[in-house]
């Protein structure tokens, strides 16, 4: 029997270590990589009490997988690389196997949502006769970065109820990086209903599956009160919402034909009778390459 089969990244000293929440809710620290990096490390295997162990080979796989929770247990591999570490033989003592996956294309970011998970793992398999194989996993996180967009148009929209309410709102841009600030203004052109509060929300919409098996979940990630009280005609309210405190991801468009993630700014008005009026606008979120 083996005491352990562990993946140890030799790049851990230079690559950042980030927090990752496992399925059981436990937080663990894992290495962070980006696409086209080299993933280099060692696998250490040590038989218990120095006993001789027969095996049919040792291999390590780098896997990029998508799991849809309505199809739990079935993993869709979009990246699969294999390195054979050892031929069939015997192990008598601790042995170290170096490995390297060079310039690995990892096109999608790690993601853990309501109905879907995209993850990257290193999987070590020790094949054996007549007894179960020993399999060990190690997760790592992938983030991919984008330069600031060359074109970033402002957003101008209106909210209106005929002869009762007319509001214009303007946001400085339509594309935001994860640590950005949403800056804008709300203009009251006509107010004939008694507005009690006004809030600005950031919403995430996750779509998984396709056709009749499409599942859509919307989360409200932030609520920011812009106003408390009744506005008057001609009044303007400034908007300044910092995005960094919230657990945002970039916008994802049809990842491997399995899921999409979109973000929306939602302006909500509540009158004194608790009726709600809202206007929603999609925004693009990206992970800024600060070196660009």
Residue with tokens 């849809």: 68
Q: Give the angle subtended at the CA of 136 by the CAs of 131 and 140, to the nearest 5°.
A: 165
Residue with tokens 């929300």: 201
What DSSP character marks residue 148? P
CA pair distance 87, 84, nearest whole angstrom: 8
5-142 and 155-286 in the same fold: yes
Helix (H, G, I), strand (E, B) or coil at 212: helix
pLDDT of residue 193: 74
> What are 183's two structure tokens?
């800056």
Helix (H, G, I), strand (E, B) or coil at 153: coil
CA pair distance 290, 292, nearest whole angstrom: 6
pLDDT of residue 159: 75
Rounded to whole angstroms, what are the CA distances from 20 to 109, 111, 150, 253, 260?
Answer: 13, 10, 32, 23, 21
Which residue numbers in the chain have pLDDT < 70? 1-14, 228-231, 290-292
CA pair distance 226, 51, nearest whole angstrom: 69
Architecture of the domain spanning 5-142 = Sandwich (2.60)
CA pair distance 241, 266, nearest whole angstrom: 12
Q: Give the angle subtended at the CA of 132 by the CAs of 43 and 74, to the nearest 5°.
A: 85
CA pair distance 10, 31, nearest whole angstrom: 10
pLDDT of residue 229: 67
Architecture of the domain spanning 155-286 = Sandwich (2.60)
For residue 223, the surrounding DSSP H or E stretch is strand 215-228
pLDDT of residue 66: 95
pLDDT of residue 291: 64
- Say what the pTM is: 0.86
Residue with tokens 């919402």: 241
**Edge-first strand listing for the sheet containing 37-47:** 2-9, 37-47, 95-104
Question: pLDDT per residue over 31-55, tens digit each?
Answer: 899 999 999 888 888 887 777 778 8
Residue 176 near residue 239, CB atoms below 8 Å: no
Domain spans, the chain: 5-142, 155-286
């Amino acid at each position: 029997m083996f005491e352990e089969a562990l993946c140890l990244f030799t790049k851990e000293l230079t690559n950042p270590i980030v927090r990752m929440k496992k399925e059981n809710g436990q937080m663990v620290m894992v290495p962070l990589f980006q696409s086209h990096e080299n993933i280099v490390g060692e696998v250490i295997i040590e038989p218990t009490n120095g006993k001789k162990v027969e095996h049919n080979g040792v291999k390590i796989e780098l896997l990029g997988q998508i799991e849809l929770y309505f199809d739990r247990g079935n993993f869709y591999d979009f990246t699969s690389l294999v390195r054979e570490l050892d031929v069939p033989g015997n192990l008598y003592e601790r042995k170290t196997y170096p490995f390297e996956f060079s310039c690995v294309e990892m096109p999608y970011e790690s993601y853990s949502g309501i109905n879907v998970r995209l993850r990257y793992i290193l999987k070590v398999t020790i094949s054996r006769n007549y007894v179960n194989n020993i399999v060990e996993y190690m997760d790592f996180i992938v983030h991919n970065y984008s330069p600031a967009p060359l074109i970033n148009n402002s957003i101008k929209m209106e909210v209106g109820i005929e002869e009762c309410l007319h509001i214009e709102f303007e946001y400085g841009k339509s594309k935001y990086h994860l640590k950005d600030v949403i800056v804008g203004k709300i203009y009251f052109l006509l107010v004939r209903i008694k507005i009690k509060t006004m809030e600005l929300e950031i919403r995430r919409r996750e779509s998984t599956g396709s056709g009749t098996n499409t599942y859509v979940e919307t989360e409200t990630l932030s609520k920011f009160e812009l106003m408390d009280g009744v506005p008057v005609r001609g009044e303007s309210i400034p908007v300044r919402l910092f995005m960094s405190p919230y657990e945002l991801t970039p916008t994802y468009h049809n990842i491997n034909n399995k899921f999409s993630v979109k973000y929306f700014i939602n302006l909500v008005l509540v009158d004194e009778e608790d009726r709600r009026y809202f206007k929603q606008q999609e925004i693009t979120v990206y992970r800024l390459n600060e070196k660009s």
